[in-house]
Amino acid sequence: FAEFERAMIRERTSAGLAQARIEGRIGGRRRKLGDKQRREVAESVISGRKSGAEMARLYGVSEPTVSRIVAAYRQQSENQALI
């Protein structure tokens, strides 16, 4: 009986997640920085106005987060240059 109940829970959970995706909702943690803030972080670090550590302290995020933002921004810029 427990296996049957577990299968039913799994089925309902999958159906709920699928419906949420259809409605445009996604799971997971919300981003701490918005798009505008992410762009500002990347442009400040790339231009040399501020270091990654300074931007991390300013926005209350870790230095690896700033590094990922800058790397993603550079990758996006390269992809747009190729188009």
pLDDT in tens, 59-80: 999 999 999 999 999 998 888 7
83: confidence class by pLDDT, cuts 50, 70, 90: low
Enumerate residues 6+ apart whose C-beta is below 8 A from 51.
Answer: 45
pLDDT in tens, 11-44: 999 999 999 999 988 888 888 999 999 999 999 9
81: confidence class by pLDDT, cuts 50, 70, 90: confident
Q: What is the DSSP letter of 82?
A: H
Residue type, 44: S
Q: Using only C-alpha atoms, what is the Rg of the chain?
A: 20
58: confidence class by pLDDT, cuts 50, 70, 90: very high
